[in-house]
Amino acid sequence: MSKIIAAILKAFLVIYFLSYLLLLPLFFIFKRKNKEAVVRVIFYYILYIILQEFLTFMVTFTPGLRSFIGILYSSNSLVEFSFFCAFYYFLFPREHKIRKITVGAWIGFILFSLGYFQIYGNKENYKFGSFVAGIEALLLMLLCGYYLYFQITHTFNMFVYRTFNFWIIVTFFLFVSSTFFLYLMADSMANSKDFQKYYMYINSGANILKNLLLAFAITRKFVQAPEKDYSRPELDLDDDLILNHKT
């Protein structure tokens, strides 16, 4: 039985690392020529999560660098939220007020996070930053929820689930939802061996799901929302929905 469990764990780790290696080749195949700012942001985000995973691996298994693991974890919330805000900002038309709200949310979160770590951070033993990660998750879920609401109320595109935009939003929403309570308890349960074991399994599984959804999103087409008045909902009858009316 122990051999079977060990084999399953090895297969799980292989899938985990392969899910990261899958992203860049797919991007160069499907999005290499795409110059849209939204798509470029996701490209840099992919580079970041691969680099972050590599640094985490190096710091974790290098005794002299383990004191930096807390810094690496706590900075992840700031960088990840910054990437999402940049993606979200370019996702909406220039005249949409959500752009200003996104900038305000980003500035507020950065200032709050830096202040929190300055006050509660321990320079000799950096913690994960559970409270900051929880605030980040709540903000991301609210922004993702608004985008889905925007799609429902301002378009009549029945095939929105085929777009790059939609799947990136779904990716972030599912990832922060699945890790919300895990990250929220990370600091208080840091000394529990059982929690550390469950943390590894749940966090790794959530990252595999995120990477697979990102990979799928990369294969989808990006559709920019048209510039128009968004003060009230409108129906957008595009090529995805053709109504034939015969008289």
Contact between 10 and 55 (Cβ < 8 Å) = no
The pair of structure tokens assigned to 119 is 């006050």
| pLDDT of res. 126 | 54
pTM of the prediction? Answer: 0.84
pLDDT less than 50: residues of the chain: 123-124, 233-247
Q: Give the dihedral sign, CA 103/23/53/136.
A: positive
- What's the CA gap between 163 and 235, in Å, rounded? 18
| pLDDT of res. 67 | 65
| pLDDT of res. 246 | 38
- What's the CA gap between 246 and 113, in Å, rounded? 60
The region that residue 32 occupies, defined by phi over 0 for left and psi between -120 and 50 for alpha, beta otherwise, is: alpha
Burial grade of 66 (CB within 10 A; 0-12, 13-18, 19 or more): exposed
**Is 240 within the bounds of a domain?**
no
**Is 119 within the bounds of a domain?**
yes
**Is 132 within the bounds of a domain?**
yes
3-class DSSP state of 142: helix
**Is 241 within the bounds of a domain?**
no
**Is 165 within the bounds of a domain?**
yes
Residues near 242 by Cβ (< 8 Å), separated by ≥ 6? none
**Is 247 within the bounds of a domain?**
no
| pLDDT of res. 155 | 63
What residue numbers bound the domain in which 134 lies? Answer: 2-218
| pLDDT of res. 168 | 95
- Measured in whole angstroms, how far is the alpha carbon of residue 124 from the centre of its chain? 29
| pLDDT of res. 245 | 38
**Is 49 within the bounds of a domain?**
yes
- What's the CA gap between 104 and 109, in Å, rounded? 8
- What's the CA gap between 180 and 76, in Å, rounded? 14
Domain total of the chain: 1
Contact between 110 and 82 (Cβ < 8 Å) = yes
The pair of structure tokens assigned to 164 is 């790059």
> Which residue do the tokens 């991301």 mark?
140
Task: Pick the closest to residue 70 from 143, 127, 144 (CA basis).
Answer: 127
**Is 228 within the bounds of a domain?**
no
